[in-house]
Chain A
């Protein structure tokens, strides 16, 4: 129970904030408070929330959704609506409870069905339930419900006297459209109160600058459209303006789609569609005396999402995959991940040899890499004079690459092997058995790799063998269409020896280039480049070997945190700090370690570790520098961040760059890292490693200096 009560209260607050697609506690509390401007409304809303939360909790539905308020916000809307439109009497409470039950059941069923297609349920359960209640109340049978006014949306809310006076004062003092904006916003909660709208604006601004700016854009665009078309002679009603027009722009522009100028455009284009829908449904539903409510909003969003989801190769207007309930965070994480997470995009292919080799023919090379077979690489070994052989160079044995081990470039299953073709004399080619001795490995259903021109009878694997990365396949030779020994490598989508090629990058390799960065991630090497696999420092690699169950204590002079490594249901690993509940997701792919995202307390020691070890390459080559970029929201300059948030979909001026590199130490190893905000240093940190494990880190960040010890608990 100790954890139950704050959890339950959080769920209540989330139910309020999720109305505006948020998890902001400030917004939730503000929304909760404004409903209590009318005690009846506030109590009805809260009662429905508590009732529905208690019900779904007792019945054991998905915990995360309960926490997020997904099952309860429709009940909240219902409670507020009923509280606003009906007089309180004994029967009211009965029907409120019944309606609440209906709405919860409807929510659960609809949410489950929609979820299968990846669509949100929005306020559909509320709309349906409210219609049912209205139809029942207006039927010829007596329900005992007394409507406050016959015309639902013209119902004007009259608050307590003092407020009314203040309201009147505000209405006079404020320009018409400002007044209209705030009242429209309050209409989302079935209110028509400028003060409520103002308070909600403050909450929304705290929650998200993007959402707030989209609400304003929606308001301006709708009013402008109406000014041109004169569809609504008296202006758009408060309710439709708020709950349909403005909410749609906010949802389309920033919540379901990664915010961008395209999503903003889509949001504005949705406005005339809403006009059509509002008018159409008003006509149909008017027959049954039913209000349209937010049905147009729901239909536009769900349809648009469904259409976007059906795309095969979405390039623009990307949908949100991991919902952070903040348009800013969604955008920054998306941009950051697009730049960083190559591990999810590609199967990691490694160089199929040891040591330094030269690309003698690159993609679309001049000799044989043509057309459909153009995306292949030829490798040889060269000496300082760029010769591939030692004198006299008349036999294959004189060539440096001849007889050298050829390795599996990644884990897979051997698909095809040819091992009987004679090696050519130097200068001769065998165009009949073009590819010579060859091994094809299947890595995934759509990715195969092939090495060719191997030495006769040197191949050590058979079709069907399971090979791991760096497994010895055979020896480099001179068979097939090969006038001098070389290694042909290509990726392909089909398993055949003659398959056409597929452009595919190597995961990691280093070049001996002294001018530029020698470390290359997920790139296709160019012709003439001398490249080798990165040398892995086993000490650093072992220090970052965070298997699930790894536990350590991070401690400073004044505090300490226990951390433990877990793996979630999507097989993503994360570090969890028990004291602060902070969570940091990471990837360790054997060549480097990097964090993908951080959630929770930014005062935690885990956060400082996240900043320090944002990306670490397991290399003891001092010239290799790991470059990376933090998500923008990690900046410490809040004022600048708010400004950035407003224009983030169009332009990012904050760039938080990260660098780390190996530093030799007298004892053990150190990784030095720093963060720069547009080249201004923000953070400097050092990570110490000895005896194959982390020893601690020092960090200077945002005016604080932390010296932390790292003690492994169970290793």
Chain B
């Protein structure tokens, strides 16, 4: 007979709650492998904590989203939102799949150029585009999405002496019936600013108006809002064609599609409540097809979805540092990754799985990060089995924003590993070193 696993004795407070037919079992299951690669071996090879991305899952997500739109609408183009995850390896997966690049700064713009994206397949968004960045974008024939009148005036003056007309679009904000209303970006639809901007662009004669852009929010849980947004965009496009005699070549509906993470405060898990890419595609494409464009005049539909395409392809692997009992008797677990790496733990109730077999008993606990800061809480309340120090945990769906918004704070940032479709792991960003962090520093002589 196989020797039974040692089980630590424990005392548990009796909860006289309502009877639950599911008992106290947790949903957590041991998550030992990612795409066939053992978690243990990844940590052994690259250290703990470590981010892991699944190339297979990224491609699946992209193809599934592309399929949802392209089987409903004849002209669809995705543009990879760089800010969601601009590791070059990640960007290049999307570019290989056919994505353009959507960038919001000169830094991201140059990254896209460096990744070999042709200038005319880069969409330049964002509220702050300095003169030299604009000049670069004009020279490369990129699509410039204008955010405000200052920028529009600057562009007109910049193109004064140019032979080529810069290709531009405006970002439009509008009321789609959801809160919060993102009216800080672009020109408002309802108060007529958007129309004023469009008129100004066409009348200037210096710019080539090719598209319209909107981005109505983030983590949108209502498909209806996209229907409203699409209708308003189509209306603007139609008015441009009829009144300004300017054909709009594309409508950029932005992104904002949610991943299946569970938002903090949500009653049901994200996997059950979040609309799928198909649901969004159905609303957007039906609106476009029924709006009354002729077949030849149907605008290209551009989508800048980020989160939906990568969130569930990212994992954060870490190790348990310590277990402790808090003052009120609640259990707590300290892990070796903090909110500086897992920025999204401020928004999501991330699913955390043990990376090895565990005992069936679970206990409600708080998961703390390793930072010497009170705010470093990964999960305030989660039912997890008891995991011994040195054992590993996996945080799911961390692919979006964490690898761009992470902070170098107290410790170096960890490595990022990509598992390819042949189950080979590749390091795509090494863990930082002291030298790397100190390299830009300089110490005045009198302080040496």
Task: Name the residue on B nearest A383 (C-beta).
Answer: B64
Whether A666 lies near B71 (C-beta < 8 A) is: no
Shortest B99–chain A CB gap in Å is: 14
Fill in one digit per residue for A501-516: 1 if any B CB lies within 8 Å of its CB, else 0: 0000000000000000
B163 CB, nearest partner CB in chain A, Å: 11
Given contacts A383-B67, A538-B249, contact A668 B60 (CB under 8 A): no
Residue in A384, A403, A667 whose beta carbon sits within 8 Å of that of B120 in the complex: A667
Let me know if B120 and A354 touch, CB within 8 A: no
Cα of A673 to Cα of B141 in the assembled complex, Å: 24
B422 within 8 A of A: no
Expressed in whole angstroms, the minimum distance between the Cβ of B301 and any Cβ of chain A is: 11
Complex contact A404–B72 (CB within 8 A):
yes
Closest partner residue, chain B, to A692 (CB atom)? B249
With A405-B289, A470-B295, A667-B164: A353-B67 Cβ-Cβ less than 8 Å: no
Complex partner residue of B118 from A354, A471, A666, CB under 8 angstroms: A666
Q: Are B70 and A354 in contact (CB under 8 A)?
A: yes
Q: Which of B48-99 contact A (CB under 8 A)?
A: 59-60, 63-64, 67, 70-75
**Is the Cβ of B67 less than 8 Å from the Cβ of A354?**
no
A431 CA to B289 CA, complexed, in Å: 34
Asked whether, in the complex, the Cβ of A666 is within 8 Å of the Cβ of B140, the reply is: yes
- Assess whether B118 is in contact with A665, with CB atoms less than 8 Å apart: yes
How far, in whole Å, are A40 and B74 apart by their CA atoms in the complex? 76
Partner of A355, one of B70, B120, B282, B289: B70
A669 to chain B, nearest CB (A): 9
- A230 interface residue, CB < 8 Å from B? no
Q: Answer yes or no: A356 CB below 8 A from chain B CBs.
A: yes
A470 in contact with B118 (CB, 8 Å): no
Instruction: Provide the bound-state CA to CA distance between A404 and B141, in Å.
Output: 35
A683 to B113 CA separation, bound complex (whole angstroms)? 32
Q: How far is the CA of A665 from the CA of B75 in the complex (A)?
A: 21
A383 to B289, CA, bound (A): 25
Judging by beta carbons under 8 Å apart, are B71 and A357 in contact?
A: yes
Is B385 at the interface (CB under 8 A from chain A)?
Answer: no
A residues less than 8 Å from B60 (CB atoms)? 383-384
B110 to chain A, nearest CB (A): 15
B211 interface residue (CB < 8 Å to A): no
Q: Which of A646-687 contact B (CB under 8 A)?
A: 664-668
Please, how many angstroms separate the alpha-carbon atoms of A533 and B63 in the complex? 17
Query: How far does the alpha carbon of A415 sit from the alpha carbon of B441 in the complex, in Å?
Result: 78
Complex Cα distance, B63 from A354, in Å, reads 15
Asked whether A354 and B74 contact (CB < 8 A) given A384-B63, A667-B119, the answer is yes
The answer to whether A667 and B71 touch (CB under 8 A), given A405-B289, A470-B295, is: no
Could you say which residues of chain B place their CB within 8 Å of the CB of A353? 71
CA distance A470 to B164 in the complex (A): 35
User: Inside 8 A of A667's CB, which chain B residues have their CB?
Assistant: 119-120, 140-141, 164
A546 at the interface (CB under 8 A from B): no
CB neighbors of B among A356-383 (8 A): 356-357, 381, 383
* Chain B residues within an 8 Å CB radius of A325: none
Main secondary structure of the interface of A (DSSP, over half): loop
- Interface size on A (CB < 8 Å)? 26
| In the bound complex, CA of A381 to CA of B72 (Å) | 12
Closest B residue, CB atoms, query A535: B75
A400 surroundings in chain B (CB, below 8 A): 67, 71
Chain A residues whose CB sits within 8 angstroms of the CB of B121 once the complex forms: 664
Q: Are A668 and B141 in contact (CB under 8 A)?
A: yes
Q: A470-B295, A666-B118 are in contact. Are A355 and B71 (CB under 8 A)?
A: yes
CB distance from A105 to the nearest CB of B (A): 55
Contact A666 B295 (CB under 8 A): no
Contacting B74 at CB < 8 Å: which of A357, A401, A470? Answer: A470
Residue of B nearest to A621 (CB): B98
Report the bound CA distance from A404 to B282 in whole Å: 9
Cα distance A667–B167 when bound, in Å? 11
CA–CA, A381 to B70, complex, Å?
11
- Asked whether, in the complex, the Cβ of B164 is within 8 Å of the Cβ of A405, the reply is no
Q: B157-185: which have CB < 8 Å to A?
A: 164
Q: List residues of B (334-356) whose CB comes within 8 Å of A's CBs.
A: none
Within 8 A of A (CB), among B117-150: 118-121, 140-141
Which of chain B's residues have a CB closer than 8 A to the CB of A538? Answer: 249
Which of B120, B249, B282, B289 has the most chain A CB atoms inside 10 A of its CB? B120
Identity of the chain A residue whose Cβ is nearest the Cβ of B286 in the assembled complex: A405
In the assembled complex, the Cα of A405 lies from the Cα of B64 at a distance in Å of: 17
For residue A541, give the distance in angstroms from its CB to the closest CB of chain B: 10
Chain B nearest Cβ from A173, distance in angstroms: 74
Instruction: Tell me the minimal C-beta distance from B20 to chain A in angstroms.
Output: 25
Determine the chain B residues whose CB is within 8 A of the CB of A383 once the complex forms.
60, 63-64, 67
| B118 CB contacts on chain A under 8 angstroms | 664-666
Q: Is the CB of A471 within 8 A of B71?
A: no
- Which residues on the B side are within 8 Å of A535 (C-beta)? 75
The reply to whether the CB of A472 lies closer than 8 angstroms to some CB of chain B is yes
Q: How far is the CA of A704 from the CA of B54 in the complex (A)?
A: 53
CA of A357 to CA of B140, assembled, Å: 36
Q: Which residue on B lies nearest to A401, using beta carbons?
A: B71
- What is the minimal beta-carbon distance from A668 to any residue of chain B, in angstroms? 7
Query: Is the beta-carbon distance between B140 and A354 smaller than 8 angstroms?
Result: no
Say yes or no for A578: interface residue by CB 8 A criterion. no
Interchain CB contact (< 8 A) of B67 among A381, A405, A470? A381
- A287-304 CB mask vs B (1 if < 8 Å, else 0) is 000000000000000000
A residues within 8 A CB of B119? Answer: 666-667
Query: For residue B249, which residues in chain A have a CB less than 8 angstroms away from its CB?
Result: 538
Complexed CA–CA distance, A188 and B20 (Å): 112
A471 to B71, CA, bound (A): 14
Separation of A532 and B73 alpha carbons in the complex (Å):
12
User: What's the Cα separation between A143 and B34 when bound, in Å?
Assistant: 112
Q: Which residues of B contact A381 (CB under 8 A)?
A: 67, 71
B245 to chain A, nearest CB (A): 15
Which residues of B sit under 8 angstroms from A665, Cβ to Cβ?
Answer: 118, 120
- Alpha-carbon separation in the docked complex, A535 to B75 (Å): 8
Query: Cα distance A403–B141 when bound, in Å?
Result: 39
Assess whether B71 is in contact with A404, with CB atoms less than 8 Å apart.
yes
- Cβ contacts under 8 Å, B120 to chain A: 664-668
List the A side residues contacting B63 at CB < 8 Å.
383-384
Q: Which of B59, B73, B74, B119 has the most CB of A within 10 A?
A: B74
Min CB–CB distance A383 → chain B (angstroms): 7
Q: Is the CB of B295 within 8 A of A471?
A: yes
Inter-chain contact A666/B141, CB cutoff 8 Å: yes
CB nearest neighbor in B for A472: B289
> Chain B residues near A532 (CB, 8 Å)?
70
Contacts of B282 in A (CB 8 A): 403
Contact of A405 among B72, B140, B295 (CB under 8 A): B72
A-B contact pairs, 27 of them (CB 8 A): A354-B70, A354-B72, A355-B70, A355-B71, A356-B70, A383-B60, A383-B63, A383-B64, A383-B67, A384-B60, A384-B63, A400-B71, A403-B282, A405-B71, A405-B72, A405-B289, A470-B74, A472-B289, A532-B70, A535-B75, A664-B118, A665-B118, A666-B118, A666-B120, A666-B141, A667-B120, A668-B120
Which 7 pairs show the lowest CB-CB distances between chains A and B? A355-B71, A355-B70, A667-B141, A664-B118, A404-B71, A354-B74, A470-B295
Identify 5 new A-B residue pairs, CB closer than 8 A, beyond the known A533-B74, A665-B118. A357-B71, A381-B67, A383-B67, A538-B249, A668-B141
